Chain A
């Protein structure tokens, strides 16, 4: 056995070792200010990480509902882009950072909520009410 495994008591390991959790940012409904290039870049990074759709308004006035899944950042906004899927088309699309005027986090954040503790609470309530075959179901495909 390695020294590392043996050197800790259970109490020490308990105290030392639990991976830190991620603090979810509540971004649903957020409309970031895009006064500067840095604000636009930061907002698009958050959009990339967001598990819901956003609505992009382009400088041309076009509005795009998009799930952003990729980006390439260059030295200028013109050579930076995001890649996205829209609900209405099958193909991957790209738009330059330079064309984006506004971002709205309009879609439901699919990674928010659904905590384990909520499942336990719901389970106990439904069981106490006499239900059987209790289960969490995936979100409907609408």
Chain B
């Protein structure tokens, strides 16, 4: 189990309190995007394609704190853009930690090693380092040679300094499950607390429009990756969400569970779709027609989505909202998910190729891009 007991207790009491008060819709994680500027240009990312004057804008610490205070979520994820490019990111993080929010600072880690002395280790602060696979895969994914080595150096330094560290990977079509499993071995040996993963979302603004996974392929891929787990692997995620990815559970999306706040406001309806903005979380809840989203709605933009920001909230609420769910979560934390059929999937796996790259001799290149 990778998530500390204190964090689980905070989330559990928060969910139970919401249930007891009959609150139907509430946030679990605030996706706080203080800026869209990034130091990478990844092919699968649809978050950073804006004119320069938009990329230069950023939230002030006060705007960040007001959003966090208003929505009240116990956890805050800080993606972007690259948060370490924000000149006041330390002040923002310190303010959130002072509020006893569990903060996941998502970073590509290009600047992490240099910036670490500015931060203070805390049980409330986790560096979530974007790492999409083994060296060649990650470098090709983020379209930058040497990116993996820089990120790993940052991870090692952060671990050494006593910070909580997770890796965060997004997987797209063409991902080789065997390589991902080897990658899990690598990152756990670096001393990280756990692994975070998700299938990619088919952002309509992403440059690469040819490799997004449909739901059956997602289940097949994650069946291969997540079955027959090694005892050293730890996941900083709900085990029920991982079972959902493997095809063992059917969940509906909880689009209000991980709301996104950025320079434009509160994004409607979720972190992935961009159909307008509200001035407050309250307005977001009140003015969004939630029945139009999620797979059951028939909305084609949601048809292939199994992304954590929509479905992990459902899994967490399921896990902490009933005895049955809680027992399943406990069982999931200790299960190895033995499955002979999944081993067969691994042996059948044929990595896709876009063409042989010069720096990779063999085998052919697999893509695990974010």
User: A residues within 8 Å of B by Cβ?
Assistant: 1-2, 4-6, 8, 10, 13, 16-22, 24, 48, 51-53, 67, 69-72, 83, 85-87, 90, 92, 107-108, 110-111, 113-117, 119-120, 123-124, 127-128, 132-142
Residues on A with beta carbons closer than 8 Å to the beta carbon of B48: 138
Q: Are A19 and B202 in contact (CB under 8 A)?
A: yes
Q: Are B173 and A18 in contact (CB under 8 A)?
A: yes
Chain B CB within 10 A, most for which of A2, A71, A116, A137: A116
Given contacts A71-B276, A108-B51, contact A21 B217 (CB under 8 A): no
Given contacts A85-B57, A124-B358, A136-B143, contact A114 B207 (CB under 8 A): yes
Q: Are A124 and B52 in contact (CB under 8 A)?
A: no
In the complex, A69 Cα to B50 Cα: how many Å? 11
Q: Are A120 and B354 in contact (CB under 8 A)?
A: yes
Q: Count A-B pairs with CB separation below 8 Å.
A: 154
What distance in Å separates the Cβ of B359 from its nearest Cβ neighbour in chain A? Answer: 7
Residues on A with beta carbons closer than 8 Å to the beta carbon of B41: 114, 136-139
Given contacts A1-B341, A5-B247, A87-B51, contact A116 B357 (CB under 8 A): no
Residues on A with beta carbons closer than 8 Å to the beta carbon of B210: 21, 116
B363 within 8 A of A: no
In the complex, A115 Cα to B207 Cα: how many Å? 5
* CB-CB nearest 3 A-B residue pairs: A17-B214, A21-B209, A22-B204
Q: Are B208 and A115 in contact (CB under 8 A)?
A: yes
In the complex, A126 Cα to B246 Cα: how many Å? 40
Given contacts A67-B50, A116-B211, A124-B355, contact A17 B217 (CB under 8 A): yes
The binding surface of chain A is classed by DSSP as loop
Q: Are B143 and A119 in contact (CB under 8 A)?
A: yes
B251 within 8 A of A: no
B320 within 8 A of A: no
Q: Are B247 and A13 in contact (CB under 8 A)?
A: no
In the complex, A6 Cα to B246 Cα: how many Å? 11
Select B220's contact among A5, A67, A133, A140, beta carbons within 8 Å.
Answer: A5
Interface size on B, residues (CB 8 A): 60
In the complex, A137 Cα to B170 Cα: how many Å? 20
Given contacts A71-B276, A116-B208, A116-B211, contact A18 B217 (CB under 8 A): yes
B72 within 8 A of A: no
Residues on B with beta carbons closer than 8 Å to the beta carbon of A139: 41, 52, 55
Q: Are B216 and A13 in contact (CB under 8 A)?
A: yes
What distance in Å separates the Cβ of B82 from its nearest Cβ neighbour in chain A? Answer: 9
Looking across the interface, which residue of chain B has its beta carbon closest to that of A16?
B216
Given contacts A70-B264, A117-B354, contact A132 B208 (CB under 8 A): no
Residues on A with beta carbons closer than 8 Å to the beta carbon of B263: 85
What distance in Å separates the Cβ of B329 from its nearest Cβ neighbour in chain A? Answer: 19
Select A1's contact among B49, B50, B247, B277, beta carbons within 8 Å.
Answer: B247
What distance in Å separates the Cβ of B272 from its nearest Cβ neighbour in chain A? Answer: 13
Looking across the interface, which residue of chain B has its beta carbon closest to that of A132?
B145
What distance in Å separates the Cβ of B233 from its nearest Cβ neighbour in chain A? Answer: 20
Within 8 A of A (CB), among B140-167: 143-147
List 22 A–B pairs whose Cβ atoms lie within 8 Å, in order of A's numbering.
Answer: A4-B219, A5-B216, A5-B246, A5-B247, A10-B220, A13-B217, A17-B214, A19-B202, A20-B202, A24-B204, A70-B265, A85-B263, A87-B52, A107-B51, A110-B49, A111-B205, A119-B143, A127-B358, A128-B358, A134-B145, A135-B145, A136-B43
In the complex, A134 Cα to B147 Cα: how many Å? 10
Q: Are A138 and B38 in contact (CB under 8 A)?
A: yes
Chain B CB within 10 A, most for which of A8, A19, A113, A115: A19
Q: Are B143 and A110 in contact (CB under 8 A)?
A: no
Looking across the interface, which residue of chain A has its beta carbon closest to that of B207?
A114
In the complex, A117 Cα to B208 Cα: how many Å? 8
Select B357's contact among A17, A20, A120, A140, beta carbons within 8 Å.
Answer: A120
